[in-house]
Structure 1
Amino acid sequence: MMTIRKTKQLGIIALSALVLGISCSDEFLEVPPAASLGDAQLGTKDGIEGLLIGTYAALNGVFGNRFEGPNHWITGSIMGGDANKGTDAGDYSSINPIQRYETDPTSGDLNNLWRGRFEGVARANRVLATITNSPDALQPADLARISGEARMLRGHFYFDLKKHFGNIPVFDETIPPDEVIVLPNNGDAWAQIEADFQYAYDNLPAVTDAGRVNKWAAAAYMGKAKLYQGKFGEAITWFNDVISNGVTPTGEKYALLDNIAEIYNAEFDNHAESVMDVESANNTGSTANANYFDDLNYPYNTGPDGPGNCCGFFQPSIELGNSYRTGADGLPLLDGSYNDPANEVANNFKWVVVDGNDEASFVPDANPLDPRIDFAMGRMGLPYLDWIDHPGSAWIRSFPYAGPYSPKKYIYYKSQENTFTDGSSWTRGYALMNYTIIRYADVLLMAAEAEIEAGSLATALDYINQVRRRAANSEFWVKASDGSGANAANYVISEYTTLGSQEQAREIVRFERKLELSGEGHRFFDLVRWGVAAETINAYLGYESQYLVTKFGGASFTAGKSELYPIPQAQIDIQGPDVLTQNPGY
């Protein structure tokens, strides 16, 4: 079966052939612009497939800017409080005001995010317009599939824009380019998003090539769109369909993987838990086809003992580490007491910076912890994948600025160097694993949330416990490096016997999303849609700033403003203030 990587290569070959085909034309005075193709050349099956591949490529970011990558490590995770900007204050300093909720409309990073997602929209529209203008180019089955893929991708790009910026312009393939420039940002994005996902569900096959979107990805994304709008009953219908019938593009029934670590391992890409992902490749001649958006985020200055040997920009927060504390019953401390001094997870930052002890004498935490902590973050003295035990401050550029932890999700293994990595550029940190936009655990927890709001607490309990059971029953908890076969920490986790009241159930599922999906770009947008961003993030800032004073001292989240990112001033300048309206507070 042809994979999306092969499809990319074939698309490039096809487009190259088309270029060669027109280069010998007798109409030698009518020379098209270099490296471009006209409508006649693109209005074929190969040409349309090539345009579609270009639309898929936009999932990975268009301008090579790490801020516009698909994993939202800044706008979703750092801004949601489950991670901190690492390194030091002088490195990639344009992130500094953003992480303090002091972002400015002139931010070039946010402008690139806006441009990149609208470039994805434009590419999807070009596919659809070319299909319309080439009625004989495709057989019915190909027409349904390709148009379904294009609309699915367009729905994704619009969803991404909507959750970041709120008010956005909306246009489809029927709007001429000269009219797009005068569209105000008051379009009905949700209507367009739902229409795109519905069309994709109705027209896409269930089984296709690995890496392509299928009808079940459309169904899951439709459920997510309904959930974001508070249409809980409708969301339940879509999620039920996905849970009962959904399969991956290669026909494998959706399921939780037995081994959590396999979710973030390139050797298991296109697995049963992957509902929609961003494919990656190496040795293609461009590291932009790998996870370039993560190349700054591996631990700092590891040398040959760790991955990437670079920069340390993405560090799980101290507060997140504490969140994995469990009680003797194996359940999380939902009352927030995980941040109490008696419950804080022992870390080498506090051991050294606060308490003044020698780092070499640090003793890792011995009290009960959810095992997912050691799949989410690197902690001093514990094995870091198949590299060495995390050495502590040697892998942290600035303790006072960034804290003690290193990321562990979507990090490549020592055994994968130069096979599942692309070492052709300035750093070894171009990895090959796919980033999962939606995975099955996410679907189960979204379904549980919808059931709590409008359905059955018993069904929600089952979904939540499926996710916790996967962690509880794992035989692969992180083992000590002494060869004893013992667990590296005191892992204690259990299932819930009841969700209690609706309000208690709400707290349970929201915290479960924090634990399960940490560092995957969801947290900020979850807090915003739940309407608790101001209180939750300000509490986080209050806690984290007692340790990371230079980073967070005086920082605050402003209710009614900070929930949305500003409309980029560069776009307002291009289109005019009478066209694009700035979000409140900016």
Structure 2
Amino acid sequence: MKQRFIKTIGAALLGLSIVGCDTDELLDKSPVTELSGDSYNTEPNLMAALYASYDVLQWQVMDGVHVFPLMWQGIRADDLHSQFANFWTPGTIMDDFSLMQSNNVSVQKLWQKWYGGVSRANIVIAKAQEFDGWETEGLQAQVIAEAKTLRAFFYFELVRMWGGVPLITEPIASPSEIPSGERATAAQIYAQIDADLMDAVDDLPTKSGTVEGRVTKGLAQTLLAKSKLYQEDYASVIAYTEAVINSGEYALEEDFGRNFKLDNENGKESILEIQYEDGFSADFFEVASQSQQGSGMWQMCYPWIFGRWTSWSNMLPLGELVDQYDKVNDVRYEDTFISVGMDIRGDLPNLAANWCPPRDYNGDETISADEILATDGVVLDWNVSWLRPNLEDCNYTRKYIIDWDVLDGLLQPSQSPLNEKIIRYSEVLLMHAEASAMGGGGNGLASLNAVRERAGLTALGSYTMDDVKSERRKELATEGWNRFSDVVRWGDATSNATFQRKNFQSGRDELLPIPQSEIDVVGADILQQNPGY
């Protein structure tokens, strides 16, 4: 199912040009291709346009610029470190809030990514509503509902990164229709998110009733719960999370680590994940850019190796994060990290770990991947002092790792076929527990204990918000979608030691700067900058 859906997306992008999202600037007033009604006059073409909207989720790089989710929610927070300063500048800036400026190209491309998704979804909604030649019963309503759910997701990412942003809900058909760029308020953006999801929910199929990887009713309900959580409407969070919990469509995997295995993608815990596949292109992911169909996360996260399988260890867990875990009893520890002394031969044949970035046995030279395989399980002791002198531990992310025998068969190692989780059922339980702790009702203790017990921890007799914060951090660590936003929405940024070490400035760094390139097009009086930039 996964392969069929992904290949359909690829075919859609080859056969259909979606305009209004590929211009250099979202609000650029230079000529753009006008929408042609003839492009959307068949059911297959409208389906292709819908699949093109899903494609935006895969974009980790735009025009050669990194926009990996883990940069914004992991490195920018207190979970990860970016590598050393002269190696990966985009990540280095995430390690020091004072370096973030309005001309940051990664910020510009992230803005364009999510507005690219909004633009594609807008086209699908408008054209699907206009088209009167539907042959498949119920498909029109479902297509519109899927596109509205995707648009809600794209706007959710925009509002929690930038606050109030321009609200565009109609397709841009010609230069004369490009909006002025004036910002809506955050409340207006959340209202649009909620309206889209409420419109969509009853027209969406259940998880068991659709193709793997497609939008579902459970996803719409989960996104509604998440939107309401950010708006502090805790009673609504309880209502929507309990709708998902009581649906019977989702459950925790008995084995936490199974969530991140190639042979268990779109499993029973999955609510939304990015569909990746290999075999489309041998292009390096920075060259493939928006056309990539595989994930570059293996190469970005795996320990530094040069040779047949080059990787860079660009997103390194901080020792402070690793120390949050009960390393004896919490099964999430070994399924989330590769740490010193950890035997990982079960994942990577012929390799054990007592390591930091690879050196030879004398610590003099970088060891090649072929040499690693030739060691036949010898425990390597790799010295890190020359690379990360200011960090207290040697840890790597594990959730994006694929076996080396799988990696060896890929056209390009930076096009990993491993899907990436955006929302898992455990997050629904954690949102339910949080809303309950905040007075929304419901039995939040049962939800929190379900997550704890799956992790191998004892059940609690009562709990506080500190327990919720701790479990949420440990459960979702290194997946790339929540940590920074969680710290900010909880009001914990100013008391967070890592944030302060990274020069966090209250009133400024909660939000990203509006890209200066966007402001320059329409004027600072129309598209106003966030405070402090």
TM range (shorter): 0.7 to 0.9
One-letter identity of the residue aligned with 1:312: S
1:468 equivalent in structure 2: 452
1:412-470 residue CA offsets vs partner (Å, 9 max, x unmatched)? 12343345xx3x23xx243212111110011100110011112347x111111101111
Could you tell which deviates more after superposition, 91-100 or 46-55?
Answer: 91-100
2:231 equivalent in structure 1: 229
1:502-535 residue CA offsets vs partner (Å, 9 max, x unmatched)? xxx1111011111111111211110111111121
1:485 equivalent in structure 2: none
Please give the alpha-carbon distance, in whole angstroms, between the structure 2 residues aligned to 1:255 and 1:222: 19
- Describe the shift of the 1:105–1:314 C-alpha distance in structure 2 as closer, same or farther (beyond 3 A): same
- Would the aligned equivalents of 2:234 and 2:435 in 1 still touch at CA under 8 Å? yes
State which of 387, 392, 417 in structure 2 corresponds to 1:398: 387
TM-score when normalising by structure 2: 0.83
Identity %: 28
1:91-133 residue CA offsets vs partner (Å, 9 max, x unmatched)? 1213323321121110000000000100000001111122233
Please give the alpha-carbon distance, in whole angstroms, between the structure 2 residues aligned to 1:59 and 1:179: 26
2:23 equivalent in structure 1: none
1:268 equivalent in structure 2: 264
1:323 equivalent in structure 2: 324
- Would the aligned equivalents of 1:43 and 1:137 in 2 still touch at CA under 8 Å? no
After superposition, where does 1:44-443 map in structure 2 within 5 Å? 44-61=42-59, 63=62, 67-69=66-68, 72-86=69-83, 88-102=84-98, 103-137=100-134, 139-173=136-170, 178-187=176-185, 188-206=188-206, 207-245=209-247, 247=249, 254-285=250-281, 288-301=292-305, 308-325=309-326, 368=328, 370-384=330-344, 385-387=346-348, 388-395=351-358, 398-400=387-389, 403-418=393-408, 422=410, 424-425=411-412, 428-443=413-428
Please give the alpha-carbon distance, in whole angstroms, between the structure 1 residues aligned to 2:446 and 2:108: 42
- Would the aligned equivalents of 1:235 and 1:450 in 2 still touch at CA under 8 Å? yes
- Would the aligned equivalents of 1:66 and 1:293 in 2 still touch at CA under 8 Å? no
1:380-430 residue CA offsets vs partner (Å, 9 max, x unmatched)? 1211252222231344571215651111112112343345xx3x23xx243
Please give the alpha-carbon distance, in whole angstroms, between the structure 1 residues aligned to 2:73 and 2:268: 25
Please give the alpha-carbon distance, in whole angstroms, between the structure 1 residues aligned to 2:16 and 2:195: 34
Following superposition, the deviation at residue 9 of structure 1 comes to: 3.1
- The question of 1:506 aligning with 2:465 is answered yes
Q: Detail structure 1 runs of 4+ shifted over 6 Å in the superposition.
A: 14-19
Structure 2 unmatched ranges of 5 or more: 18-32, 286-291, 359-383
- Would the aligned equivalents of 2:75 and 2:91 in 1 still touch at CA under 8 Å? no
- Would the aligned equivalents of 1:66 and 1:294 in 2 still touch at CA under 8 Å? no
Please give the alpha-carbon distance, in whole angstroms, between the structure 2 residues aligned to 1:464 and 1:14: 42
- Would the aligned equivalents of 1:44 and 1:138 in 2 still touch at CA under 8 Å? no
1:471-504 residue CA offsets vs partner (Å, 9 max, x unmatched)? 21xxxxxxxxxxxxxxxxxxxx3221222xxxxx
- Describe the shift of the 1:405–1:125 C-alpha distance in structure 2 as closer, same or farther (beyond 3 A): same
Following superposition, the deviation at residue 325 of structure 1 comes to: 4.0
- Would the aligned equivalents of 2:238 and 2:441 in 1 still touch at CA under 8 Å? no
Following superposition, the deviation at residue 540 of structure 1 comes to: 2.4
- Describe the shift of the 1:4–1:576 C-alpha distance in structure 2 as closer, same or farther (beyond 3 A): farther
1:494 equivalent in structure 2: 458
Structure of greater Rg: 1
Structure 1 unmatched ranges of 5 or more: 20-34, 248-253, 327-367, 473-492, 500-504, 543-551
Please give the alpha-carbon distance, in whole angstroms, between the structure 2 residues aligned to 1:18 and 1:439: 32
Please give the alpha-carbon distance, in whole angstroms, between the structure 1 residues aligned to 2:322 and 2:515: 34
Please give the alpha-carbon distance, in whole angstroms, between the structure 2 residues aligned to 1:159 and 1:17: 29
1:565 equivalent in structure 2: 512
Question: How many equivalent residue pairs?
Answer: 472
Please give the alpha-carbon distance, in whole angstroms, between the structure 1 residues aligned to 2:151 and 2:114: 9
One-letter identity of the residue aligned with 1:262: R
One-letter identity of the residue aligned with 1:195: A
1:30-50 residue CA offsets vs partner (Å, 9 max, x unmatched)? xxxxx9994313321011011
1:42-86 residue CA offsets vs partner (Å, 9 max, x unmatched)? 3210110111111000111272656323xx211101112111112
- Would the aligned equivalents of 1:125 and 1:173 in 2 still touch at CA under 8 Å? yes
- Would the aligned equivalents of 1:14 and 1:46 in 2 still touch at CA under 8 Å? no
TM-score when normalising by structure 1: 0.76
One-letter identity of the residue aligned with 1:498: S
One-letter identity of the residue aligned with 1:317: L
- Would the aligned equivalents of 1:11 and 1:49 in 2 still touch at CA under 8 Å? no
- Describe the shift of the 1:64–1:266 C-alpha distance in structure 2 as closer, same or farther (beyond 3 A): farther
